[in-house]
Homo-oligomer: A and B are copies of this chain.
Amino acid sequence: MCGIFGIFGHPEASNLAYLGLHALQHRGQESAGIVTSDGERLYAHRSMGLVQDAFSEDVLSKLPGAVGIGHVRYSTAGGSGLRNAQPLAVDYARGSLAVAHNGNLTNADELRERLEARGSIFQSSADTETVVHLIAQSAQRTIEDRVVDALSQVEGAYSMVFLTEDRIIAVRDPRGFRPLCLGTLRSRGGVHVVASEPVSFDLIDAELLRSLEPGEMLVIDKGGVRSSFPFARQEVRECVFEHVYFARPDSPLGGATVYDVRRALGRRLGDEHPVEADVVVPVPDSGVPSAMGFAERLGIPFELGLIRSHYVGRTFIEPSQSIRHFGVTLKLNPVTSVLRGKRVVVVDDSIVRGTTSRKIVKMLRDAGAREVHVRVSSPPTRWPCYYGIDTPTRRELIASSHTTDEIARYLTADSLGYISLDGMIDAVVGARGEGAEARARFCHACFSGEYPVEFRGQPAGRQLRLLGV
């Protein structure tokens, strides 16, 4: 998972990109980067770590110009360091080019092999680099046509922002796997911004104009914003997981905030898996809205029975190495007074490996819970994502090889209930005020195994050939 950002037309482009990336920090903490243009040259800075650590005032002052793009990268297995950090910036025949990518290409290996056979050299193991090669080798004349030419050859998920000396090109793939939206600054006319999520706009006082449509390409330059749909039409497949887990709750994705969607998921979960209990507690922070919806639907008191430390990142994401083995204990603490002697429902947004959930159940029991019922606001996660979510391999996904009963026993839970796939989609569509026809717009491959685009590659193998900076 990653976050991308672009801005055109503001003299402090790098500062605004910095703030925009900051608001997207939840989408990736492994590395951060910004590339700007002053009209003649590109200026790049990429660094491992959080946005606030990667950039200082001094560094930002060395990224001049009124146009810029940025990227935050999610921690991936085996993390390959600065070499794979984005934006990727290169020189080619027509000048310089930088690109920030959110998503994953399913035919990158195939393309790479073809490119390498022609003599291309690669500086990273990122699939994004194939796109840059395709652009450089395109027979088309304008950069817009070259980008279209290149992207017509790739498959999979891509929300991308390109930067040249004088323009930004923003693209959302025809299936619309990953979000991408357009905004404009309130405080200054003629400044356009694009970002993975509209939360990126609040900090810089920009307002959301709209989401890019699947398959849409925006060219932003001195002439303004031009939209086109240059790619072959595909069935839309927005990632449902964005709503359940990834996006910030205040993100209005597709007409409803993620917060609304999560509350709706909680209510539906309550319909599907009711339980008699004394208290509903969420696994904070992402489980809070669905726990509220669940509690509301079943009329059980909602309480914050687990407190999350502000000084450690989220479960899916790296704590500092030296304390990793303390796992969940570092991040969550039980509020004994809420739990002691109670029948507790704990609501989480997903179960991946099951290890964290098991620790939480134990923590609740140690704090005095009489019963612990686990409710999950997404269906069992059984399949890896090939479109940009950094899931573990199938073998590690507990639901890929165990029944719900088996998982409940592993968790030592008194009961376990996942929302159904239909239930989840109903809830999302309902919260967005859409009709039944919208039910087909989602990719839910990680739950259903129904992959909209076939994956053709050996992901791990390629990545390990060249390591380091």
Contact = CB atoms under 8 A, between A and B. Distances in A.
Interface of A: 19, 22-23, 25-26, 35, 41-47, 50-52, 56-57, 60, 62-63, 82-83, 89-93, 95-97, 113, 116-123, 125, 132-133, 136-138, 199, 202-203, 205, 248-250, 252, 256-257, 259-260, 285, 288-289, 292, 302-304, 307, 309-311, 313-314, 320, 322-323, 326, 329-330, 333-338, 464-469
Contact of A320 (B52, B95, B288): B52
A83 B249 CA distance: 38
| For the complex of A and B, 7 pairs with smallest distance between CB atoms | A119-B137, A44-B468, A93-B116, A90-B121, A91-B122, A257-B337, A250-B333
Contacts of A285: 310
A89 B466 CA distance: 8
Contacts of A63: 468
Contacts of A250: 307, 333-336
A119 B133 contact: yes
Contacts of A118: 137
B133 A121 contact: yes
Contact of A91 (B125, B248, B329): B125
B121 A132 contact: yes
Given A43-B467, A257-B338, A259-B307, 13 more contacts: A19-B330, A23-B309, A41-B465, A45-B468, A90-B123, A91-B465, A93-B117, A97-B121, A119-B137, A203-B326, A252-B336, A260-B338, A292-B304
A183 to B, nearest CB: 14
A213 to B, nearest CB: 21
18 contacts: A19-B323, A22-B311, A22-B323, A25-B311, A26-B310, A44-B469, A45-B469, A46-B469, A91-B122, A91-B466, A93-B117, A203-B329, A257-B335, A257-B338, A259-B304, A260-B337, A292-B304, A310-B314
Copies of this chain assembled into the complex: 4
A252 B96 CA distance: 44
A465 B42 contact: yes
A116 B90 contact: no
- Of the candidates A42, A311, A330, the one having the most CB atoms from chain B within 10 angstroms of its own CB is A311
A251 to B, nearest CB: 9
A50 to B, nearest CB: 7
Contacts of A116: 91-93, 136
A155 to B, nearest CB: 21
B136 A119 contact: yes
Contacts of A92: 116, 119-122
A289 B304 contact: yes
Given A92-B116, A202-B329, A469 B121 contact: no
Contacts of A51: 311
A42 B47 CA distance: 21
A311 B96 contact: no
Nearest to A252: B336
B335 A42 contact: no
A468 B43 contact: yes
B93 A248 contact: no
Nearest to A88: B123
B330 A203 contact: yes
B333 A304 contact: no
A23 B332 CA distance: 10
Contacts of A202: 329, 333-334
Contacts of A96: 465-466
Nearest to A330: B203
Contacts of A97: 121
Contacts of A304: 249, 259, 288-289, 292
